[in-house]
Amino acid sequence: MDAFVIDLVNGKMQWDAEAIQTLITADETSDKKEKMRQGRDYYALKQKYDDFKFNQYWGGKKEDSGEQEEYINNAMSDEKSKNPHLWVQIEEKISFIAGKDPIIKAVDEKRQDDLKPLINRNFYKTMRKMIGGSSAKGLEFLHPMEDEKNQFNFLIFNSIQIIPIYDTEFMRFMVGFIRYYYLEQTVDRTGSKTLVVEFWSKNGIEVYRNDNEQGQLKFVQWKDHSNIELAEDENGNFYIKDEEAGNQDPFLWDELPIIKMENNSQEITDLEAIYDKINILDKLKGRFANDVIDIKKAFFVVKGHPKADMQKFMVNLNANSAAKVHQDGDIKPIIIEIPIEAVKEAITDLEGDIHKFGRSFDSKRIDKIGGSPSGTLLNILYTPLEEKCEPSMREYDEVAQELVNFYTTWKGIEPIEIKTEFNVTRVRNRKEEIENLNASSDVLTRKEKTEKNPYSDKNTFDDKTEELKEMEAKRNSDNNNQNINNDNEN
């Protein structure tokens, strides 16, 4: 299959619908895609134990199949206690990296104005989604394009729908990709789904769809979400043209129009390290909650009462808190005791492990310390989160640079090298930071002190220059007046 795909990319083989269908089936059922779907679902608070029943139990075996018989006790509670740890950790990660918009600067300051049309609210919003998607699924893809208004734009391709195709087994360069997804038929309201397969390469783009009548993949004309048609020039490069807008000038990309953001070097999701622990915690908390709810529902050992009258007997017992029994009868309540301390300890240990292996900031550790923790201690507490975020921050910078490269190619201007400055969101001991800055006056310039001041926007020093000059002049004037007064007194 690998040789077939490489030959397809290199134009040595035509589309083989059966082989492509086999490739897609293998990808859909792969362990990697299953873990990506798990990460996506847990991030969306659709956790595994949603289907778990706390009032379910198993009895004897079925006569026909030999399988255990399933029973549901409707008298018992089946409440869920969902713990959105992955959602919290990914949102924490997004906030840490991009809660405050990173500053994208041109290395050549003269080129900064060329970036303004690109680095806008849509850019920052999309990049936050890229961090979330890559964290949940291990990687995410960004597709640069020209939209229906003939403007440079970009959109996210769901990585679960993408099969990357690389040049070699070492995966140095992506030379193509297959994107597949299902479209639900809404016209006839049948609910049937049509499989759409897009094959992207430098030689162009081809799209196949599943023919419901024949059950085969069939070639169809490509139109993307913005009604942009991709065509091929005489050199085999593909470009975008919008026939409806009358733009017939071909736009040539220098490379495959897709940008990958990895969560880490192994493309592992943030869920994998804590998946089992979240599942156990969900069940443990859920079972504990249901036991607390049901504790008032004691079990009764009833002696000397006809089985046929048991339902009426229980109704009277619940309604009147009393029941009549026969002369030789008896009622004994059995109340299950919950090992509360053991459950609490288990929950605490699990939550600690989720923070530890999920490498998140554990605020409970500050509560244990008490007071106002020093900057050094806060740095120690934030170290796991910082280590987890570092690969995503590097990827953020690389994705931004690649997107700028596509933009300058589309714009027809010289390439722009950029640098990304992050202003992370975290708990800080501001008083200590200011004291350290004041103690460093001999080694830091005023600009450096202003940029590092936790109450100052590090990018507004130039705007504050005049104000600082006025403050300095006033301070000098006050000192001179004081000296004059002292001389007069003398």
The secondary structure of 84-115 as a DSSP string is -HHHHHHHHHHHHHHSSPPEEEESSGGGHHHH
Element (H, E) at 358: helix 340-358
- 439-472 per-residue burial string, b: 16 or more CB within 10 A, e: under 16: eeeeebeeeebbeebeeeeeeebeeeeeeeeeee
The secondary structure of 195-230 as a DSSP string is EEEEEEETTEEEEEEEETTTTEEEEE----TT-PEE
- 16-39 per-residue burial string, b: 16 or more CB within 10 A, e: under 16: eeeebbebbeebeeeeebebbbbb
Question: What integer pLDDT is reported at residue 239 of this predicted model?
Answer: 39
Who's near 432: CB < 8 A, 6+ residues apart? 374, 375
Give strand pairing partners of 231: 239
Residues in the chain: 490
Question: What integer pLDDT is reported at residue 224 of this predicted model?
Answer: 37
Question: What integer pLDDT is reported at residue 236 of this predicted model?
Answer: 38
How far does CA 24 lie from the centroid of its chain? Answer: 24
Instruction: Say if CB 242 and CB 148 are below 8 A apart.
Output: yes
3-state secondary structure of 191: coil
Question: What integer pLDDT is reported at residue 74 of this predicted model?
Answer: 73
Question: What integer pLDDT is reported at residue 463 of this predicted model?
Answer: 55
> What's the alpha-carbon Rg for the chain, to the nearest Å?
32
Question: What integer pLDDT is reported at residue 404 of this predicted model?
Answer: 96
Q: Distance between CA 247 and CA 23 in Å, rounded?
A: 36
Q: Has this prediction a pTM greater than 0.75?
A: no
How far does CA 120 lie from the centroid of its chain? Answer: 21
The secondary structure of 377-424 as a DSSP string is HHHHHHHHHHHHHHHHHHHHHHHHHHHHHHHHHHHT-----EEEE---
Q: What string of pLDDT tens digits covers the 490 residues of the chain? A: 345 555 555 554 455 667 777 888 889 999 999 999 999 999 999 887 767 777 776 666 666 666 767 767 776 777 777 789 999 999 999 999 999 999 999 999 999 999 999 999 999 999 999 999 999 999 999 999 887 788 899 999 999 999 988 776 556 678 788 899 887 654 445 556 778 888 887 666 777 777 655 556 665 544 333 333 444 444 433 333 434 433 333 344 667 889 999 999 999 999 999 999 999 998 888 888 877 777 655 566 667 666 656 666 666 666 666 666 666 777 776 666 778 888 889 998 999 999 999 999 887 776 666 666 776 777 888 899 999 999 999 999 999 999 999 999 889 899 999 999 998 887 665 666 666 667 676 666 767 667 666 666 655 555 556 666 676 677 777 666 666 666 566 5
Q: Distance between CA 252 and CA 114 in Å, rounded?
A: 20
Question: What integer pLDDT is reported at residue 231 of this predicted model?
Answer: 44
Q: Distance between CA 287 and CA 343 in Å, rounded?
A: 10
Query: 31: which 2 tokens?
Result: 């362990």
Element (H, E) at 44: none
Question: What integer pLDDT is reported at residue 165 of this predicted model?
Answer: 82
Q: Identify the burial level of 267 via C-beta atoms within 10 angstroms of its C-beta, where 0-12 means exposed, 13-18 middle and 19 or more buried.
A: middle
